[in-house]
């Protein structure tokens, strides 16, 4: 029993020393933000609405994308900046390579019956 208590005592002492050294050597909050090791990006996050149009979209993704309203196939138009539904004229923007497949966005960029002429919304 005496050996067990002696072992527990030394384990607690060593654990306390390790804890104290860890806290002593840990970086302060200012060092953590400048080290670049955090989860958040260094640059502010840009809204998808402000992102530039276009960007590479994989051919596999283009094959499976459909219009969210009528579930029909889409065509890549305007040098890869939009996906067009030729049946209703909705144009879905591609921002930073991400197709924005929201019906509201398709209506916002609507073209006249698929002929490329813009209509006011």
pTM for this prediction:
0.55
Nearest-angstrom CA–CA distance, 62 and 65: 5
> What pLDDT score does 38 carry?
65
Same domain, 56 and 97: yes
Tokens of 17: 């020393």
pLDDT at 23 over 50: yes
Q: How many domains does the chain have?
A: 2
Domain region containing 10:
2-29
Residue 93 lies in a domain: yes
Quick check: 67 and 106 in contact, CB under 8 A?
Answer: yes
**Where do the H-state alpha helices sit in 1-121?**
2-25, 29-35, 59-64, 103-108
Same domain, 24 and 55: no
Q: What is the pLDDT of the chain when averaged over all its residues?
A: 81
Same domain, 67 and 102: yes
pLDDT at 102 over 70: yes
Residue 90 lies in a domain: yes
């Amino acid at each position: 029993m005496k050996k067990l208590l002696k072992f527990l005592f030394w384990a607690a002492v060593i654990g306390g020393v390790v804890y104290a050294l860890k806290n002593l050597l840990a970086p302060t909050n200012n060092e953590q933000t400048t080290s670049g090791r955090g989860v958040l990006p260094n640059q502010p996050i840009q809204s998808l609405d402000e992102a530039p149009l276009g960007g590479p979209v994989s051919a596999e993704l283009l094959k499976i994308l459909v219009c969210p309203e009528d579930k029909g196939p889409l065509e890549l138009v305007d040098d890869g900046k939009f996906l067009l539904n030729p049946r209703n004229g909705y144009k879905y923007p591609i921002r930073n390579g991400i197709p924005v497949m929201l019906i509201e966005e398709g209506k916002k960029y609507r073209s006249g019956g698929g002929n490329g002429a813009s209509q006011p919304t």
